[in-house]
Amino acid sequence: MGASANSNTKIVTGSAGYVLEDVPHLTDYIPDLPTYPNPLQDNPAYSVVKQYFVNVDDTVAQKIVVHKSSPRGIHFRRAGPRQRVYFESDDVHACIVTCGGLCPGVNTVIREIVCGLYHMYGVKKVLGIDGGYKGFYARNTVTLTPKTVNDIHKRGGTILGTSRGGHDTSKIADSIQDRGINQVYIIGGDGTQKGASVIFEEIRRRGLKVVVAGIPKTIDNDIPVIDKSFGFDSAVEEAQRAINAAHVEAGSIENGIGVVKLMGRYSGFIAMHATLASRDVDCCLIPESPFYLEGEGGLFEFIEKRLRENGHMVIVIAEGAGQELLSESIQSTDKEDASGNKLLQDVGLWISQKIKDYFAKQNKMAINLKYIDPTYMIRAIPSNASDNVYCTLLAQSAVHGAMAGYTGFTVGPVNGRHSYIPFYRVNEKRNKVVITDRMWARLLSSTNQPSFLSAKDILEDKKDEENCTELLANDHSSDGRLINKESNCISHTAL
């Protein structure tokens, strides 16, 4: 197992520092493939649309805030239907697989891939792979039709089942080849996209006319480059219910403290956005912002102050926050799940106990703490209306890209425009909350919690940020791959 670096990056440069980081195409390794007119041109729903087909040269800028003299920077190929396609409808044999943890909207993406293939391109053969990557070689498949997927967007989870681990590249490629599959749609998070990249490399090595398209799924919103991942809004909305409950509980009793644990293994986006949306949260703790408990400027001091001022408070904590503190006080187990992700200790339980112990020992005030853990509840729901629309665009963009012969790509919005992004771009790092960014400052000014940063920390973080902002300058590495220094520090002010 292990994602290999994409060896054949396609970089196109233009004047004024324009750079296109293109995605692979079937014709890169299978020359002289025939093309066909896009069946959409005869579709009554689309024939009235002025300029329905995307211009072949359309690209989307990664950086939209630019200065007079700055280079134009990296661009990605714009997603959407092309005038010519590389598959005849009757020849397409597509499959869909879902991997990793659940996320609101997975069923909507499945539905819209199936319906998009059927209704836009007249494709009738779509298979569902049961139970994630291992399903390719260890399970039966399910036939998917618009009828069988008609209502699935109203349900949480994934009708195909999912799993962690079990990525055996050659067995998966054998299964694709043996079944005669020629379009593979892979829905999943960072691990899944790495797996998709390796499958694509193997398919290309075998010279198969098979397209591999990734649809990024992660409730943690930790996939880089794209504006935001689907299901994130739904999860943040659902988290409000838990925060409301914590607030009601805490507010109804003397010195009430509500602690809510939310998902976010390495990235605290759900906690940050749920806090900002709610305005009932007094303190939000995320993995990117280390905190400490005791002494001046510490969490205990803040809790005490808030209880004296308001009589109650709500703390939101992301599951990956404070893990370093936890491993100091509880023996770390270093256990991993089947995909190799570290299994985290329950920080919500731990911090609740620590707070209780502190107030009991100090004998300062009697507190009433209620711990709410809605982690799985926020990701097991169906997607909300706006996520449903977003999922539809993602699915349709993936289908258009596959029909047009693009492969080895992840689809997603970049500055609001759906784009085809090469796998290596989404696999090279993880999207994180930048705590010296304006969004985190907004949160701090809304909660008035301590930043837990020393002056030295702030200086160091600012320096990192400055390095990042210089960056409109892009370099090429010795292997010809473009390095965008800026993308080492993705921030999500735009979110």
- Report helix angle 347-362 to 299-310, nearest 10: 70
Q: How far is the CB of 415 from ligand F6P (least distance, A)?
A: 25
Q: Is 191 in the site for Mg ion (CB under 5 A)?
A: yes
Which run of H or E residues covers position 412? strand 409-414
Residues 21, 220, 282, 486: which binds ligand F6P (CB under 6 A)?
Answer: 220
CB atoms closer than 10 angstroms to residue 15? 6
For residues 122 and 38, what is the distance between their CA atoms, to the nearest angstrom?
11
* Residue 378 is assigned to a ligand binding site: yes
- Starting at the edge strand found earlier in the chain, the sheet holding 312-318 runs 283-285, 312-318, 256-262, 368-372
Asked if 263 is part of the footprint of ligand F6P (rule: CB under 6 A), the reply reads yes
| Residues 166 and 195 sit within 8 Å (Cβ to Cβ) | no
**Token pair in block for residue 40:** 């959409």
59 labelled ligand-binding = no
Catalytic residue among 28, 90, 174, 220: 220
The answer to whether the annotation marks 337 as part of a ligand binding site is no
Shortest spacing between CB 110 and ligand ATP, in angstroms: 16
- Residue 73 assigned to a binding site: no
Stretch touching ligand F6P by CB under 6 A, among 33-41, 133-141, 213-221, 398-406: 213-221
Pair of tokens at residue 64 = 């939209």
Q: Cα-atom radius of gyration of the chain, to the nearest Å?
A: 24
Binding mask 333-352 for ligand F6P (x = CB under 6 A): ----x---------------
Residues at the site binding ligand ATP, with contacts judged by CB under 6 A: 1-3, 99-101, 132-133, 163-167, 188-192, 194-195, 198, 218, 339, 341
How far apart CA 458 and CA 248 sit, in angstroms, is 35
> Is-catalytic flag, 357?
no
Instruction: Assess 319 for contact with Mg ion (CB under 5 A).
Output: no
Number of residues that bind Mg ion (CB under 5 A): 3
478 phi and psi, to 5 degrees? -60, -30
- Spatial neighbors of 437 by CB under 8 A, at least 6 apart, are 465, 491, 492, 493
Based on the shown chain and the rule CB under 6 A, indicate whether residue 100 belongs to the binding site for ligand F6P.
yes
Task: Give the three-state DSSP class for 37.
Answer: strand
Three-state DSSP class for 141? strand
Closest CA to 202 of 164, 174, 166, 165: 174
Residue 413 as a binder of ligand F6P (CB under 6 A): the answer is no
Q: In 3-state terms, what secondary structure has residue 123?
A: coil
Q: Which tokens sit at 362?
A: 């100090």
Question: Which range of residues in 186-194, 199-207, 254-262, 395-403 is near Mg ion by CB under 5 A?
Answer: 186-194
118: annotated binding-site residue?
Answer: no
Annotated binding residue 190? yes
Nearest CA to 236 among 397, 113, 381?
381
What are the φ and ψ backbone dihedral angles of 262, each rounded to 5 degrees? Answer: -120, 165
401 annotated as a binding-site residue? no
Binding segment for ligand F6P (CB under 6 A), chosen from 105-113, 262-270, 302-310, 457-465, is 262-270
Residue 75 or 379: the one with the smaller Cβ distance to ligand ATP is: 379
- Return the residue nearest ligand F6P (CB atom): 101
Range in contact with ligand F6P (rule: CB under 6 A) among 36-44, 217-225, 287-295, 467-475: 217-225
Q: Which residues are catalytic?
A: 220
**Annotated binding residues for Mg(2+):** 190
Contacts with ligand F6P, residue ranges (CB under 6 A): 100-101, 189, 218-220, 263-265, 319, 337, 379
**Annotated binding residues:** 101, 164-165, 189-192, 218-220, 263-265, 319, 376-379
Contacts with Mg ion, residue ranges (CB under 5 A): 189-191
